[in-house]
Structure 1
Amino acid sequence: MSTFFSAWTKRSNSSLLLGLDHVHPILKDIIEEGTSFPEDFVDYVMIFNLLHYEDPVSILKEAIRILKPGRVAGLVHWNYDPNTPRGPKMEIRPKPEEIHRWAIEAGFKIGSEKPIDLPPYHYGFIAKK
């Protein structure tokens, strides 16, 4: 068990006091195993700095599968700009038009091809099921 999950378990009583008793962390390799959630199960998906993986469409397909109809996913990644002082090497950062194309390919609807600016280091899209 990771340090994070050990700490979470110890804090479970504190979580109840903070109103976080509905949050249940799951340690899982979703690339290999998927999320194991049923279809149309979650209200929101947040994909943050993960779409540089070799098969980003599979991640997006899993996200759309588990989202309830009409709900959205936030797709966020590092700016595709060498002047961004933090983040991974430029070679692995997806361009906004790539994320837009992958999301459409996975079945999402995106209102604009232009990404949302999320300064200082990121951009994103809101993708609707």
Structure 2
Amino acid sequence: VHTDGMCHMDAGMTKTGIDAMKEHNIDLAFLENVGNLICPAEYDTGAGKNVMILSVTEGDDKPLKYPLMFEKSDALVISKIDALPYFDFDLETCIKRVKRLNPNIKIFPLSAKTKEGMKEWLNWLREETGEWKVRR
């Protein structure tokens, strides 16, 4: 999907992209924002679920700086947890801040390097994808 220089996607753009992929029988598509953390929260992208990725390298203060995105997300992946010893990132504090903003959000601390947390994240994706298949 090409956004013509805009920092967000809207539902119409998403529909165009999904329609173009229908012949491939895709069960799951990821929409990645290329702008800042608040931009996609302000627009209806047509997504079934909103998942945010926060890297340990970005800092644990992001829920304070960009609360809207955390409030609107269904799930949060906290990536690169294998790097926690090397960064000033308090995982427990970050999770508490996020849960204050959105008590129902699912949080998945994970490391692609060590595979820690990957099973839980993939299980959630499978469950959610299964629900979407049933609703189609």
TM-score, length of structure 1 as denominator length: 0.45
Structure having greater relative contact order (Cα 8 Å, sep ≥ 6) = 1
More strand per residue: 1 or 2? 1
Task: Please give the TM-score of this superposition, normalised by the length of structure 2.
Answer: 0.43
Higher helix share: 2
